[in-house]
Amino acid sequence: MQYSMLEVQSSQPSVFDYTNQPSVALSLLCKILVDLGHRARGFSRQLLTYDSWDWDYIGKSDLVGITFMTLAAKEAFELIRRCKKLGRKVVVGGPHASFLPDESMENGADFVVRTEGHQTLPELIKALESGTDDFSHILGLSWKNADGKHIHNSDRPFSTQEEVESLPVPDITLISGYSKATSIPVLTQWGCTDKCDFCSVIQMCGKMKYRPVESVLAELEKLIQIYGPGVSIFFCSDNFFAYKKQAISLLKGIIELDLDIEGGLQMRADTICNRKMEINEEILSLMWDARIRMQYLGLES
């Protein structure tokens, strides 16, 4: 079976305009599908224009997946309609679709994978391969029945730490135009230790889960082989130091293996400077020695 995973880009100016960085969801989901024996390719507007995508491949796909955030919802709906004109079934995912699944289906999507998709998507594909038109058994899925009625299945429980540890290393070479990426996203964990009611992260991913340090280091080594020494890495976790033990172990691993990267990450300001204005020199030194050259600081109040 053949599958396409697409990422759209907003026509409105945004922070994502400053780098050619595809979503890590594409390289992870495509790798999961390939490991299951399928053909899968990702296409990102961050790397190639829409007209440069392999529309012959997309048009022959058994299912087309589209991921997007709220900023790019308008463009995503246009892409859904373009894929439907090719006669393809379309599944969408990401935060916007997860919270507003009816909107995506009203704009042509056949399915919506709500919240985490690495378990729901393979189950959907297995059901489609069986020829069924009843998807009511798939947790975390919204879909349209034969009468066009929107069905919202029960939520899927958030993935466990053990399930996250069993995920494969994402493969960016499964994304068309991967050589054009100027910054490579690497996910070290997702979810959060807090429960802020204004934030979508906890609603999308639940409590924090983290990848084994060995898995992240293996991915970094592979990316250096692909892009060469000095490859630009962005650790796209919301708070790199949310699980400080894992983060420090990863930094030490990068130093010990002498991995030649140029990294950036996101972190809370109070990780390196407490309320007494005392600086954590150890963490600053570890980041510098691990070639982390850019930090996006969250100033929490």
Cα dist from 41 to 8, 67, 79, whole Å: 15, 14, 17
Predicted local distance difference test score (pLDDT) of residue 34: 98
Residue whose entry in the numeric block shows the structure tokens 């130091």: 241
- Residue 286: predicted pLDDT: 97
For the cut 80, the answer to whether the pLDDT of residue 300 exceeds it is no
pLDDT bucket at 221, cuts 50 / 70 / 90: very high
Whole-number average pLDDT of the chain? 95
Residue range 39-48: mean pLDDT, rounded: 97
pLDDT computed for residue 23 by the predictor: 93
Q: How far from 220 is each of 24, 197, 248, CA to CA, in Å?
A: 14, 34, 16
DSSP label of 141: E
Cβ 43 vs Cβ 9: under 8 Å: no
Strand order through the sheet with 39-44: 39-44, 2-7, 63-67, 90-93, 111-113, 141-144, 150-152
The answer to whether residue 216 scores a pLDDT higher than 90 is yes
- Residue spans of beta strands (DSSP E) within the chain: 2-7, 39-44, 63-67, 90-93, 111-113, 141-144, 150-152, 184-186, 189-190, 209-210, 231-235, 261-268, 292-298
Q: What is the mean pLDDT of residues 60-88?
A: 96
Comparing 70-84, 124-138, 194-208, the range with the smallest average pLDDT is 194-208
108 token code pair: 């042509």
Using one digit for the tens of pLDDT, what is the confidence trace for 163-182?
A: 999 999 999 999 999 999 99
* pLDDT value of residue 198: 83
Torsion sign over Cα 286, 17, 201, 7: negative
Q: What is the mean pLDDT of residues 228-242?
A: 95
Q: Which pLDDT belongs to residue 188?
A: 96
CB-CB neighbours of 218 under 10 Å: 12
Q: Cα(160)–Cα(206) distance, rounded to whole angstroms?
A: 10
Beta carbons within 8 Å of 130's beta carbon, 6+ residues apart: none
Say if residues 141 and 135 touch (Cβ distance below 8 Å).
yes
251 DSSP 8-state letter: H
Per-residue confidence (pLDDT) for residue 195, from 0 to 100: 82
pTM above 0.75, yes or no: yes
- What confidence tier does 277 reach under pLDDT thresholds 50, 70, 90? confident
Interval 126-160: pLDDT, tens: 999 999 999 999 999 999 999 999 999 999 999 99
Q: What is the mean pLDDT of residues 194-203?
A: 85
Is the pLDDT confidence value at 196 over 90? no
pLDDT value at residue 15 = 78
pLDDT average, residue stretch 276-297 = 94
* Predicted confidence (pLDDT) at residue 13 exceeds the cutoff of 90: no
Distance from CA of residue 31 to its chain's centroid?
12
